[in-house]
Amino acid sequence: MSIESTNPATGAVVDTFEETSTDELEDRLERASDTFEEWRETPVERRQRLLSNAAEILRENADEYAELMAREMGKPIGQARDEVAKCAWVCDYYAEHAAAFLADETLAGEPDAKTVVAYQPLGPILAIMPWNFPFWQVFRFAAPNLAAGNVGLLKHASNVPGCASAIQDVFEQAGFPEGAFTTLLIGSDEIDAVIADDRVRGVTLTGSDGAGRAVAETAGSELKQSVLELGGSDPFVVLEDAPMDEAVETAVQARLLNSGQSCIAAKRFIVVDDVYDEFVDRFADELDEQVVGDPMDEDTDVGPQAREDLLDELHGQVEETLEAGGECRLGGEPMDRDGAFYPPTVLTDVPDDAPADREELFGPVASVFRVPDEEAAVEKANDTRFGLGASVWTADLERGERVARRFESGLAFVNELVKSDPRLPFGGVKDSGYGRELARDGIREFVNAKTIWVQHDAGEESDPVE
């Protein structure tokens, strides 16, 4: 069976790919398992050099990969180039730091014994990745895990098969052995069987909390390590002493990055009463000036939604919120043009339990809430089942840090938008998932932290203590 990738801006077919057959799937799993036995023994310094090669290939072909993203899922071309550059950065980061992160750690023990913790790879790891950052989400998994000595199996979103194939090609060009990183063009109904396969030793997913629960259930039943980076409904808190120019400018960027299709996008704007009217007026005006259009156009700020059904789902959430009593300050209707285009939209007076209050709105729709003071702002920020990122805006940095520590989130920023950085752990709490990606924490998620005790002097045996 073939898979078509479709340009969401035009509806035109971008390319056609053949699904991975049952026999091919078996061959790729077996090859991954065989390759792991070789790759795990490859010195970490060589793994690092190959990651450096991958970074260079990404930079050399940045325009090609950016255009592929723009065609397959509608990412504005400038943002797509930035995504490729970030993928190269994460490869460079682990090319520099992997050896130190994986080095044996000597811990306190008996004076006549050597006691260390060694970090050893687990085996083939399945990555189930989304379409919204089709290169970055994969590379932030692949770079640390390949450096750690694991091999990767990629089940990418069905609407970006070209990106999936291109990523495998990057690693092959970089000199990684065949089977070190393999794309599986399979359906979602085949995922459970792959997770359960004895050759697969762990699974990571970036996606919805519903998909995360299903993957966690299967992985748990097989006693396999899992990492889940799920949805978010990140609060953007504006206090009365916020630097308003910077807050408004960043709020627009934080809501519209990737045409609003980002787990860590600011989605709920919580503003204290003293500055509420000013913020809403300026925020809506700035959003209204953003250019919605062809993602291949350098002047475009907001491209299409990645698929028509996603646009329909988003608009349904907006309509249900308005029917419940919310007000629409800007936008609120699909654009009258070809393609899956939805305009920047501002919803105010959002009722409790309306979709714009309780659900993740995965598109360029901002929900604005009025609160009396800081305490109410924190309470509203935490009044969600999600816990991925959060930000607060204030002229008092000590106050900002105090508020940031009170957010129930995996990431908290003061006077900055929520973002991922290879140097810092990334992940959420509550229904936003568990485990961490990036930094030292990310490279150690899928390794065996093995305690090794070497007794120097036989001496008298002591009773073992568990």
Instruction: List, by residue number, the catalytic residues.
Output: 229, 263
User: Quick one: tokens of 37?
Assistant: 């036995």
> What is the separation, in whole angstroms, between the first and last Cα of the chain?
54
Cα within 13 Å of Cα(180), Cβ side? 27
Backbone angles phi, psi at 444, to 5 degrees: -100, 5
User: Quick one: tokens of 439?
Assistant: 């930094």
What are residue 454's DSSP bridge partners? 114
Decide: 388 and 264 in contact? Cβ < 8 Å: yes
Q: Return the amino acid letter for 195.
A: I
Residue 464 to residues 112, 116, 243, 453: CA-CA distances in angstroms? 16, 18, 60, 13
If one counts every other C-beta atom within 10 angstroms of the C-beta of residue 112, the result is 10
Residue 51 to residues 59, 92, 108, 145, 175: CA-CA distances in angstroms? 13, 7, 34, 11, 9
Decide: 62 and 81 in contact? Cβ < 8 Å: yes
> Cα dihedral sign for 91, 225, 129, 310?
negative
Query: Considering only CA atoms, which of 264, 292, 283, 287 is closest in space to residue 417?
Result: 264
Decide: 202 and 225 in contact? Cβ < 8 Å: yes
